[in-house]
Structure 1
Amino acid sequence: MIKKIVIAIVCFATAGLYAQDGTVSPYSVFGIGDLRTTSTVENQMMGGMGVFTDSIHINLQNPAAYGELGLEQNNKVGLVNYTVGISNRQLRLKSFTEEQSSSVTNVDYLALGFSLGKGLGMGFGIMPYSSVGYNLVDERQSGSQPLTNVFSGEGGLNRVFYSIGYQFIKDFSIGVTANFNYGTLESERLQQIEDVQFGTFDRRTSRVNGFDFNYAINYTPTIKDKYTLHASARINTQGNLVAKNDRRIGSFSVATGGNIEEVNVNLDALNLRNTELKIPTTTTLGLGYGEDLKWFLGAEYSFQGLSSFENSFLGIGNIDYKDASSFAFGGFYTPDRSSFSSYLKRITYRAGLRLDKTGMVVNDVDINNFGITFGLGLPLGQSYSNLNIGFEAGRRGTTRANLIEESYFKINVGLSLNDFWFRKRKIN
């Protein structure tokens, strides 16, 4: 057991390294960056829904699901689930006149979940929350001379979380997750005029931290002794983040790139040294139906009052925010989970789709995202552990109004391992 604990601690300690620069999206210039997935590969491949829960997988979106861990194994105390996910995202970025490709590989989450018996479970972990990684060039005329602005940014926020779930009466579970978000957001603007020896720069840094909470309630009654209805309601409360800011402006040599002059801006006088970032509350409703360990179909709808969001220090002038919403649909099918003669029958096949109205309005154009997902859950031996492989293809944005359209293909790999701690050794 000690070896397992040490390995887990090392993994958690190093996971934060992957939260930075986890995107190459130009849309990460807005808000707090490109928001990362908050679900395991299993849920991602069903359109990203969190309404489905079972006793052998951690559900990172739905803390009430922790109350179900171990129920299928007669609720044995000491059941632990280790889960980790990584992804590779291939992007094609296209404007009205140009096109280029890029890719990024990330660790998406690391988490442990425990069954504490009698319908009580808990878990904790770490994941990237948002990522910033962009490099944009804006060329225009300044009088009779060409003017070039280069915008770049990097950084992002990590999230450490602790969850607890409890099945307080038959078919009803409640849960809560406490999230601590922290990290650094950096942006830079370089400006130069053709044939002018010096350019100017504006560099801004925000060190951000703060909490939010995710509350959930699940209702999972059995119908006709065979089927299960899955209903859930979740509220991710407003994230109250605090940013400590720094800003430096100055000039640089176009020939060498070296700084000529640099000044630290007095943000205290501007009342911008410490600012607040309030991430609006998100409410999610889900409904599904299926046969335990066999098949499931479900849908989920989320909405967020994003119109109240602003970033007074790192804000960009050509963006507005409106209320955001998301719709997801998906499910899975397992031909015969207990089959001994055919491995293919024990594989779980998942698929889904999602449509996101992100709430970002850039150059008076709504930025939306559409994606389709599919994947396989490959059982490891005769245990409840499995290797999950998923794929997602989609598109975000548009080439209208001088914007950029992202076409992406994402490969996800997740490992879900089940074991028992505190198991007594038997000597024959």
Structure 2
Amino acid sequence: MIRTKAAPLLILLLLFFASETTWAQARISSPYSRYGVGELWYNNYSTVLSGMGNVGLAIRSDNYLNIKNPASYTGFDTTSFLFDISGLGSYNTLKTTDISQGADYASLGYILFGTPITRWWKASFGLIPFSNVGYTVYDEKEVEDVGNVRFIYEGDGALNQFHIGNAFQITKNLSVGINASYIWGVIDRRRRVTFPDSLSMLSTRIDNFDHISDVMFELGAQYFIPLDNGMEIGTGLVFKPGMQLNATRKYIAQNYFGSADQNLELPRDTVAYNPSQKGTLDFPMGFGGGISLRKNNQFLVSMDFNWRNWEQYKSYGRSDSLQNSYSFHLGGEYIPKHNSITSYFHRVRYRLGFRYENTYLEINNTPIKEFGISFGLGLPFRRSKSMLNFAFEFGNKGTVENNLVQENFVKFTFGLSIYERWFIKARYR
């Protein structure tokens, strides 16, 4: 028979999270989300891995999903059904040389499923955020014969992805995989020019509504080398080919009376309007590699490196002054005694990690860097491979030099990894 004790719960959760009203995006507040497609979500793809510095390219598991490398899906067995779900909260402090302010947000994270197709073919699917946009930036200048001129830049929106992944066991030690993701969403960017010192001059507002909808792919491979004493070395590679995502932009430019500060805008005339400008977002190629050392049910240490050619990114044929990015990740996990019957805390998984990233942003000739230190816990269920996971990360992004903003952040991620045996044949009839 097929054991489906958790089936009703999983189906209800899928319907709940997939609904348009509940699959809401985080209302982030980051001036750096103004560039590219916003703040990318790739550092939040797994609560387990977030607690280990977001490593994962050379890691596979039989009780949680690792979508950082699609080849990892061969890690779960042929009788299991996996379900992962998460939520995220963050508190950021935005600081310049003059002022400091706080911002917080909370969001639903990912919802993922994993299932075997055959003994050598495993699959994964689910919903994951792709990027978020949320910013308001003011810039004021004194212009001769005009007075004070205020420039306001605002943006909000998000891109999501529906993910389908497949992994294939080629040999005992080698597996390969592919992720296909349908990307969709809307990003709204607004620019205003206002004249606070003048009652007669018209202000100008320009709106760009970008609707993105297309498919992206990612390839991966893993190779594991068994050693003595139950240890193994793992290696992993991923490749992201350059892709063009189809997009449609609604563009409108208007002159108006009033002030955005007072939420009073009286349109005077429309200067330009295009309801459906067709274009593409040109995403560049990238690759990553990782290595791991594991002793099953005792410890894991892993290291990753990623690089992407963001200088080639274009939006509607125009570059966005991005730079190539690279990141380094180091992390691990320790289990004191996985089968202890005297102490629950000996069965808990303790995680620690570090990451450093030279992001795709370079502003005022200053590269924007990001780093984080993380730790996590995996709390096992009794007599089950299911687990409740927590991850905490402390770090910062950017700098206060050259009139820029430094973001200090504290992130908290929680996730539930459910392992169920669904495909067990009955012994008796």
Looking at structure 1, the residues matched to 102 and 381 of structure 2 have their Cα atoms a distance apart, in angstroms, of 36
Q: C-alpha offsets along residues 152-207 of structure 1, whole Å, 9 cap, x if unaligned?
A: 11101000110111212111111111011111110111221123234221111110
Task: Give unmatched runs, 5+ long, in structure 1.
Answer: none
Looking at structure 2, the residues matched to 237 and 314 of structure 1 have their Cα atoms a distance apart, in angstroms, of 20
**1:30 and 2:30 are equivalent in the alignment:** no
Displacement of 1:400 in angstroms is 1.3
Please give the secondary structure, in 1, of the residue aligned with 2:282.
Answer: strand
What is the aligned partner in structure 2 of residue 52 from structure 1? 59
What is the aligned partner in structure 2 of residue 173 from structure 1? 175
Displacement of 1:46 in angstroms is 1.1
**1:116 and 2:117 are equivalent in the alignment:** yes
Query: Runs of at least 4 residues of structure 1 off by over 4 A?
Result: 15-19, 312-315, 422-428
Looking at structure 1, the residues matched to 346 and 183 of structure 2 have their Cα atoms a distance apart, in angstroms, of 41
What is the aligned partner in structure 1 of residue 156 from structure 2? 154
With over 3 angstroms needed to count, the CA separation of the structure-2 counterparts of 1:101 and 1:61, relative to structure 1, is same
Which among 248, 252, 264 is matched to residue 248 of structure 1? 252
What is the aligned partner in structure 2 of residue 99 from structure 1? 100
Displacement of 1:312 in angstroms is 4.3
With over 3 angstroms needed to count, the CA separation of the structure-2 counterparts of 1:406 and 1:276, relative to structure 1, is same
Conservation of the 8 A alpha-carbon contact between 1:244 and 1:273: yes
Which among 162, 169, 184 is matched to residue 186 of structure 2? 184
Q: How do 1:255-404 and structure 2 match up within 5 A? A: 257-263=264-270, 265-267=272-274, 273-312=277-316, 320-404=321-405
Looking at structure 2, the residues matched to 39 and 128 of structure 1 have their Cα atoms a distance apart, in angstroms, of 9
Displacement of 1:264 in angstroms is 6.8
- Identity, % of aligned positions: 24
With over 3 angstroms needed to count, the CA separation of the structure-2 counterparts of 1:330 and 1:5, relative to structure 1, is closer
Please give the secondary structure, in 1, of the residue aligned with 2:264.
Answer: coil
Please give the secondary structure, in 2, of the residue aligned with 1:307.
Answer: helix
Which letter does structure 2 place at the counterpart of 1:32? Answer: V
Q: C-alpha offsets along residues 298-341 of structure 1, whole Å, 9 cap, x if unaligned?
A: 111011111111224897xxx62221111100110001111111
Task: Give unmatched runs, 5+ long, in structure 2.
Answer: none
Looking at structure 2, the residues matched to 348 and 5 of structure 1 have their Cα atoms a distance apart, in angstroms, of 25
Aligned residues between the structures: 416
Q: C-alpha offsets along residues 347-406 of structure 1, whole Å, 9 cap, x if unaligned?
A: 000111011111211111101101111010000112000000110011101111111100
Which letter does structure 2 place at the counterpart of 1:44? Answer: S
Displacement of 1:3 in angstroms is 2.0
Which among 202, 206, 217 is matched to residue 202 of structure 1? 206
Looking at structure 2, the residues matched to 279 and 107 of structure 1 have their Cα atoms a distance apart, in angstroms, of 26
Looking at structure 1, the residues matched to 396 and 32 of structure 2 have their Cα atoms a distance apart, in angstroms, of 13
Q: C-alpha offsets along residues 69-88 of structure 1, whole Å, 9 cap, x if unaligned?
A: 12xxxx43xx1111011110
Displacement of 1:418 in angstroms is 0.5
Displacement of 1:253 in angstroms is 2.6
Displacement of 1:258 in angstroms is 2.9
With over 3 angstroms needed to count, the CA separation of the structure-2 counterparts of 1:314 and 1:136, relative to structure 1, is farther
The alignment's TM-score, normalised by the length of structure 2, stands at 0.92
Displacement of 1:142 in angstroms is 1.8
The alignment's TM-score, normalised by the length of structure 1, stands at 0.92
Which letter does structure 1 place at the counterpart of 2:160? Answer: N
Looking at structure 2, the residues matched to 394 and 111 of structure 1 have their Cα atoms a distance apart, in angstroms, of 27
Looking at structure 1, the residues matched to 332 and 139 of structure 2 have their Cα atoms a distance apart, in angstroms, of 44
With over 3 angstroms needed to count, the CA separation of the structure-2 counterparts of 1:15 and 1:41, relative to structure 1, is farther
